[in-house]
A and B are shown apart, each in its own frame.
Chain A
Amino acid sequence: MGEKPVVVSFLGLNFNLTNCLSGTLMAIVIGWFVIWLAKKVSMKPGKRQNVLEFIIDFTNGIVRDNVSDVDAQKHLSLYAFTLFLFIFMMNQLGLFLELTINGHIWIKSPTASPLITMTFAMMTLLLSFNFAMQRFGVGGYLRNYSRPIGFLLPINVLEEFTNFLTLSLRLYGNIYAGEVLLTLIGHDFAHSAGFATVLASAPLAFIWQGFSVFIGSIQAYVFVTLSMVYIGRKVQQE
């Protein structure tokens, strides 16, 4: 990871253009993909519609399994669907596309930077607050922190932070480690001793890429599942 990301300052805020560009790219790809899949929606589904319905069923299954509240399920299913596709695609992006120009890296997995994963974890956290407050009211929501027993209050409050941190850092760690190892194999190891190591690094990189695809999928699934678990726990009284 020797390359520097492109960072510009705008309105006093730092923008990491690498992450912005990669994320936008993936958002466009997902948008195009789902629109393409949903082009001909009919009562008797075609191949594309079947694929889309399969993904929808999959993410709906995650929501159904972890959120018992039916009303919340309805609102969360779209979030779960989009979140899953977005994180999945961002995880995979760095595996096949890393664009480096003049020592600056322009495209890589955005989920390999902690701030992006924290953004998603924060979204989940805020959503869980929102759903809990809609369900129990602000007072009821705050009282839930002292349930089932009063002295658990600090632990419950602390749990919010740990949930947030573990949710974001798990994803970040997995993807970042995958990219580091891929760089180590494909860059440092391959260039260490000439032609022989280049040859030897090819199968290693291939294997690790395959494994990273697996990790990326699993982590997207885990992220969405845990998001739903956290939200689901908030909307039901203990």
Chain B
Amino acid sequence: MTFQPLFAALNLEIGDLLYYLIVFAILLWVVKHYAWGPVTKMMEKRRKQVSDDLDHAASDRQRAELLANQRAAALQKSKQDATQIISDARTNAEKTKQSIISDADQEAATIKKQAKADAEQAKADALNAAQAQVADLSVTIAGKVIAKNLSAEDQKDLVDQFVKGLKD
């Protein structure tokens, strides 16, 4: 061990070197164990979470877009359906209207015919009744007239008229 006295003679403090190496090693360990490790782990975790969140946001947005598209398509379809339904209803209504009108026309025609027939009947009845009455009346009148004193002139007129009527 000749180099140790040599260092001593040169007044080199080699002990410091070793001491500093040890102190630095201990400091490295302490820093790593109590500060560096936890903090860098947390930084890494945070980095990962941020990137995860970004990925999630992208996929969420994609899904939202998909849903929006689906909804737009559904809306479009329902609009079409509604139009279809309305037009169907309109056609049906038109049909119903036509049938109702034609029914009504028919009925009206029937009623009219019936009414006409009834009227004819009534007229015929009335005429028959009237004829009968007229006959009665004329007989009554004739009776009355005959009962009255007929002047010669009147009698002549009456006969003339009667004759004239016969001629006609």
A binding-site residues for B, Cβ under 8 Å: 7, 9-16, 19-20, 23-24, 27, 30-31, 34-35, 37-38, 41-43, 45, 49, 52-53, 56, 78-79, 81-83, 85-86, 110, 113, 115-116, 118-120, 122-123
Cα separation A85 to B27 with both chains bound (whole Å): 10
B6-35 Cβ-contact flags toward A at 8 Å (1 or 0) = 011001111111111101101110111011
Q: Nearest chain B CB to A141's CB is how many angstroms away?
A: 23
Q: Nearest chain A CB to B117's CB is how many angstroms away?
A: 102
Decide: A86 near B27, CB < 8 A? Known: A13-B7, A49-B39, A115-B13. yes
A53/B34 in contact, CB under 8 A:
no
* Residues of chain A contacted by B20 (CB below 8 angstroms): 19-20, 23, 110, 116, 119-120
A42/B42 in contact, CB under 8 A:
yes
* Residues of chain A contacted by B126 (CB below 8 angstroms): none
Which residue in B1, B27, B28, B35 is a CB contact (below 8 Å) of A52? B35
* Residues of chain B contacted by A9 (CB below 8 angstroms): 8
Residue of B nearest to A118 (CB): B17
B binding-site residues for A, Cβ under 8 Å: 1, 4-5, 7-8, 11-21, 23-24, 26-28, 30-32, 34-36, 38-40, 42-43, 45-46, 49
Chain B interface, >50% SS class: helix
B15/A14 in contact, CB under 8 A:
yes
A35/B14 in contact, CB under 8 A:
no
* Residues of chain A contacted by B28 (CB below 8 angstroms): 78-79, 82
Which residue in B8, B15, B36, B45 is a CB contact (below 8 Å) of A16? B15
B13/A14 in contact, CB under 8 A:
yes
* Residues of chain A contacted by B14 (CB below 8 angstroms): 13-14, 115
